[in-house]
C-alpha cells in the first residue's frame, strides 16, 4: 500500500537516496530542501511514480517546520512516514575557531539538527495521532555521536541529542502505534564529504570502504516499514564495523 513520506534534506546524498528508495516501493514522497532548489528538483525528477512534491522550508526556526508539515499534509493529503535527514555540519575545531564563530556554529547546528527535527516530529506525530495513523519516524543520526567529532563537535553533540530524542519519542508514541528509530551511519560516499574520504578514512572499516547512500536508504526504509514496529527505539549502527560500541 502506498504511503505518504516526508524526507527532509533530500536535495542530494543520503536524502536523495532515501527519497528514491521510498518512491521505488510505490510511496509518494515530499522532497524537502533548504536552499539547494536545483539539486532538489533533480531528486524530484528522479523519483519513479507520481504524486510526489517539492517543498522548501528553513528548519532553523519553528515557523519553517510548521510550514513544511502543513504543506506536506496539503500536498500529499497527509503524512505517514517522516525521515529527519536535514542537517548542517560546519567545521569548528576549538583551537582554531574564534569564540563568536564558535557560538554561531553551535547555534546554527542545534537549531537545524536538533530543534528542527524535534519540531517536525511534534507536528507530524500530532497529525498521525489525530488521524489514527500508525506511522513511522526515522532519524538520520551519526557514528560521530559516539566516536567523537573533534573538528565538528556541535555536529557530534547534535546527533547524540537526535538519537536520545528518538528513543524518548519511541516510548511516548508507542501507545499510538507510531514507531521511532534512528540510524547512525559512519562516512558515506556523498558530495558533502567527498574531500574527506581519504584512504585513511576508508581504512577505518575492515571492509576498506565507506557506505553508499543506497545502503543507508535501505536501512531507513526497513525501519520505516510496518514490519519494523519491534525495532522502535533502535539506534542502528551503519559503519561497516569501523566503530563498535
Q: How many contiguous H segments (helices) and E segments (strands) does the chain have? A: 9, 7
- Sheet with 4-7, strands from edge to edge, namely 53-56, 28-33, 4-7, 81-84, 136-140, 179-185, 235-238
Residue ranges of the domains in the chain? 4-238
| Weakest mean pLDDT among 111-125, 133-147, 191-205 | 191-205
Q: Pick the catalytic residue from 33, 146, 155, 158.
A: 155
**Catalytic one of 33, 60, 158, 159:** 159
CA 130 centroid distance within chain: 24
Q: Which is the catalytic residue, given 142, 158, 182, 232?
A: 142
Examine the residue annotation and report whether 60 is marked as an active-site residue of this protein. Answer: no
Q: Is 155 a catalytic residue?
A: yes
pLDDT of residue 195: 86
Q: Where are the alpha helices (DSSP H) in 48-183?
A: 62-76, 99-110, 117-130, 144-147, 153-173
Dist. CA 200–CA 197, nearest whole Å: 8
Question: Global pTM?
Answer: 0.95
Question: Does 176 participate in catalysis according to the annotation?
Answer: no
Asked if pLDDT for residue 234 goes beyond 80, the answer is: yes
With residues binned 3-state (H G I as helix, E B as strand, rest as coil), the percentages for the chain, rounded to 5, are 50, 15, 35
Radius of gyration in angstroms for the set of CA atoms belonging to the chain, rounded to a whole number: 17
Q: How far apart are CA 170 and CA 167, in angstroms?
A: 5
Under the banding of pLDDT at 50, 70 and 90, the label for residue 12 is very high
pLDDT digits (tens, 9 = 90+) for 125-173: 999 999 999 999 999 999 999 999 999 999 999 999 999 999 999 999 9
pLDDT of residue 192: 84
Q: Domain 4-238: what homologous superfamily? A: NAD(P)-binding Rossmann-like Domain (3.40.50.720)
Distances (CA, A) of 243 to 95, 121, 163, 209, 217: 26, 28, 16, 13, 20
Q: What's the rounded Cα separation, in Å, for the pair 21 and 49?
A: 12
Grid coordinates given for 76: 500529499
Report residue 118 as a C-alpha cell: 524535534
Q: What are phi and psi of 178, to 5 degrees?
A: -100, 120
Mean pLDDT of all residues belonging to the chain: 97
CA angle 54, 76, 164 (to 5 degrees): 80
- 15-54: pLDDT as tens digits: 999 999 999 999 999 999 999 999 999 999 999 999 999 9
Fill in the DSSP letter of residue 35. Answer: S
Q: Assess whether pLDDT exceeds 80 at residue 1.
A: no
Amino acid at each position: 500500500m502506498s504511503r505518504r513520506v516526508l524526507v527532509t534534506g533530500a536535495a542530494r546524498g543520503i536524502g536523495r537516496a532515501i527519497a528514491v528508495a521510498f518512491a521505488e516501493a510505490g510511496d509518494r514522497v515530499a522532497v524537502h530542501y533548504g536552499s539547494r532548489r536545483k539539486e532538489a528538483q533533480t531528486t524530484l525528477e528522479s523519483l519513479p511514480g507520481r504524486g510526489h512534491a517539492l517543498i522548501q522550508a528553513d528548519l532553523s526556526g519553528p515557523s519553517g517546520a510548521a510550514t513544511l508539515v502543513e504543506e506536506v499534509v496539503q500536498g500529499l493529503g497527509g503524512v505517514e512516514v517522516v525521515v529527519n535527514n536535514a542537517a548542517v555540519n560546519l567545521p569548528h575545531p576549538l583551537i582554531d575557531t574564534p569564540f563568536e564563530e564558535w557560538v554561531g556554529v553551535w547555534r546554527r547546528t542545534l537549531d537545524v539538527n536538533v530543534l528542527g527535527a524535534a519540531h517536525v516530529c511534534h507536528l507530524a506525530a500530532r497529525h498521525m495521532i489525530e488521524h489514527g495513523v500508525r506511522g513511522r519516524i526515522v532519524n538520520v543520526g551519526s557514528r560521530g555521536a559516539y566516536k567523537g567529532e573533534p573538528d565538528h563537535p556541535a555536529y557530534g553533540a547534535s546527533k547524540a541529542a537526535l538519537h536520545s530524542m528518538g528513543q524518548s519519542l519511541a516510548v511516548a508514541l508507542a501507545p499510538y502505534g507510531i514507531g521511532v528509530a534512528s540510524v547512525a551511519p559512519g562516512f558515506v560516499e556523498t558530495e558533502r564529504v567527498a574531500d574527506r574520504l581519504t584512504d585513511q578514512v576508508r581504512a577505518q572499516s575492515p571492509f576498506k570502504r565507506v557506505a553508499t547512500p543506497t545502503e543507508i536508504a535501505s536501512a531507513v526504509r526497513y525501519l520505516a516499514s510496518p514490519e519494523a514496529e519491534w525495532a522502535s527505539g533502535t539506534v542502528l549502527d551503519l559503519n561497516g564495523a569501523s566503530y563498535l560500541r
